[in-house]
Structure 1
Amino acid sequence: MTQNIAGSSPIARDATVDALLSEDAPVAIGVSGGKDSQAAAIATFRHLDSIGHTGPRILVHADLGSVEWKDSLRICEELASHLQCDLVVVRRKAGGLMERWESRWLSSQTRYETLSTVTLVPCWSTPAMRFCTSEQKTHVIMADLKRRFPGQKIVNVTGVRREESATRSRMAVADGDANGRVWTWRPIIDLTVDEVFAMIDASGLHPHPAYRVFGMTRVSCRWCIMSSMPDMIAATKQAEGHDLYRQMVTLEIDSGFAFQGSRWLGDLAPHILTTDQREGLQLAKQKAVLRKEIESAITKPMLYVKGWPTRMLTDDEADILAGVRRDVTGLYRFEPRFLDRASIHARYAELIEARAGKEVAS
């Protein structure tokens, strides 16, 4: 069901959300500084005013740290001022997204050295593994909302739109969490990008400058795992992000993993990099090719799966893994451990025994 609010673009309605709003349930609107969350907040407040909602209303911004655009927080603050509501800024206690990527690489190295995984694990988030969203935004926001509104049912508003992707095109207008305590509502899910910008312009606010000044089509992290090539290039043209750019490329160099699968961030603007970084990037690309060739010797039954290791390796498999680990360890100059058949069999036996102990304890 959709409804026009004061001549604006229609919003999507949901019966459960309507019932919660009629009971003045708290409403929290996630805002990033991007156009969609800005429009979602505007549309939601208009709707709440039209139905006489008197419950708490807040905007919530999950600050991702150095990967954020400089103007993002300012846009959120201006939106809160316009709507005359509080802006709550939450952050992951262990640091921002850049720190998470860096710590993930250190963890990947440690796990490999201790044979807690079969292959090296990429440090970057991916479209299929978006811990950048789940850890840095969703978990932090939900934890704050449940502390802020104890025992209450909460309406959590997001600016998701079906036009954005095939996955989002299949999303419901609203859905609840496992306990039915937090209902996520997507009021502008059916709006087009033109309707979103028209709503922002009509409000008297301005969208994030990254759109109309910097030439971006979407605003999230300065360089996002989901960004298009034109957006990635446009972001490199803003001097305010050059330190971050060099930091991210350093992680590409250290890890040997490209930021977007096979697309290296360092290739977008090599003139921003130092001479050492340009040379290091070329070596990292060579290292990536060699690592893939080396790890291709591992057979599918040997690869990491949930509950790994599920069995002991055969002698031939242990020999294969030993050879792979010797080559990868030398390539990355890791601590040399578990590089022969006997030590690998012993390590697998240790891991299987530890897993069995955990299953008994649980």
Structure 2
Amino acid sequence: MATAQMVLDLPGFGSDVPDLASYDWIIANISGGKDSIAMLHELVQHARAAGVLDRIVCVHVDLGSAEWEGTKELAAEHAAAYGLRFEVVARKGGDLIDRIEERGMFPDADNRWCTSDFKRGPVRTLMTRLVQEARDAGNPGRVRILNVMGLRAEESPARRKLRPFAHEGAWTCPCEVCVPRRVKAEECKARNQKVPKGGGPGWGASNTLRHVDVWYPVHTWSTLDVWAAVEASGLRKHSAYLAGMPRLSCMFCVLASRSALVLSAQLNPGPAARFARIEKKIGHRFRNDLSMAEIIAEAERTPRVDAVTCWQG
């Protein structure tokens, strides 16, 4: 969900923990999954130490019928365990599966519109509301927001490249980092030259009314580290983990391994059949190398998958 990252080398912004007290709002993106639990557990400890626990707003992005059953309720339970404010956001209109049918295509690794449309966009709408709340409370300046997520380097090559702490730069952001980048990018455009990759301010969530930074508290953690934090938190785990799933993503994520998809089809035959019907209707395969019909066929002819050790591949 993070975009337009810029590393900041400023006082109070070390590589480990940002200056939490410098933010008006701290948004904790919680999915109900193990990384989300570990992130929230870690964030709460630091927020308590900084005396800013009341600034945390937990947000769950509701993907509708694409989610595992009970996910939204579990996320609410996790926020309530710490006495934190809980918000649910969702894209206006149909849910993710409805949108797949409407678009006539599934997302893929190179075109992850599910993330931009159903996750990043709704969370930015929440940021807009929080900015207004801060202004109504008497904050006349730019509202500072820290967007916190449980992304880990171990999960994928793309996430390995993310910085644990960064500024979400944008063309309309007036900060001392974004303005020079915008000027240079505009100079390139004026000369009809391509803006170098990473040379512009980016397309992050910052703007003239809000300064947004992003923090991944568990970015360098291993899976064992995460599970240790989950146990320490005492928060309830989703039943999907007990059934052998390694992640609590969408029931059928296009980035998941074949074995994870087969297990999900064994656990969720109804939603799998719906995907297969949509696949047939729109004439677009769930994945280029794997159709939902093939996933279902394998799920029906093979013994129950006990556990999935690898999410991708």
TM over 0.5, shorter chain: yes
Query: Residue 106 of structure 2 aligns with which residue?
Result: 124
Query: Would you say 1:163 and 2:154 are equivalent positions?
Result: yes
Query: Residue 183 of structure 1 aligns with which residue?
Result: 213
CA distance in 1 between counterparts of 2:18 and 2:258 reads: 43
The structure 2 residue matched to 1:218, chosen from 244, 247, 257, is 247
Partners of 1:17 and 1:155 within 8 A in 2: no
Query: Residue 58 of structure 2 aligns with which residue?
Result: 59
Q: Deviations over 1:201-230 (max 9, x none)?
A: 11111322211x221111110000111111
Matches within 5 A, 1:316-331: none
Query: Residue 128 of structure 2 aligns with which residue?
Result: 146
Query: Would you say 1:256 and 2:302 are equivalent positions?
Result: no
Partners of 1:71 and 1:209 within 8 A in 2: no
> Aligned-pair distance for 1:19?
6.1
- Identify the structure with the greater helix proportion: 1
SS at match of 1:27: strand
Query: Residue 269 of structure 1 aligns with which residue?
Result: 296
**How many corresponding residue pairs?**
241
Query: Kindly, what percent of the aligned residue pairs are identical?
Result: 28
Q: Report the structure number with the largest CA radius of gyration.
A: 1
SS at match of 2:143: coil
Q: Deviations over 1:240-260 (max 9, x none)?
A: x33321221112112222112
- Give TM-score, length-normalised by structure 1: 0.63
- Give TM-score, length-normalised by structure 2: 0.72
Partners of 2:148 and 2:214 within 8 A in 1: yes
Query: Residue 355 of structure 1 aligns with which residue?
Result: none
Partners of 2:25 and 2:146 within 8 A in 1: yes
Matches within 5 A, 1:278-297: none
CA distance in 2 between counterparts of 1:81 and 1:158 reads: 18
Query: Residue 238 of structure 2 aligns with which residue?
Result: 208
Partners of 1:25 and 1:55 within 8 A in 2: no
Partners of 2:101 and 2:282 within 8 A in 1: no
Question: Where has structure 1 moved over 4 Å in runs of 4 or more?
Answer: 16-20
SS at match of 1:149: helix
Query: Residue 49 of structure 1 aligns with which residue?
Result: 48
Question: Structure 2 vs 1, CA of residues 269 and 54 (structure 1 numbering), >3 Å: closer, same or farther?
Answer: closer
CA distance in 2 between counterparts of 1:17 and 1:164 reads: 19
Q: Specify which structure has the bigger relative contact order, considering alpha-carbon pairs within 8 angstroms and separated by 6 or more residues.
A: 2
CA distance in 1 between counterparts of 2:18 and 2:221 reads: 23
Partners of 1:27 and 1:55 within 8 A in 2: no
Question: Structure 2 vs 1, CA of residues 257 and 54 (structure 1 numbering), >3 Å: closer, same or farther?
Answer: closer
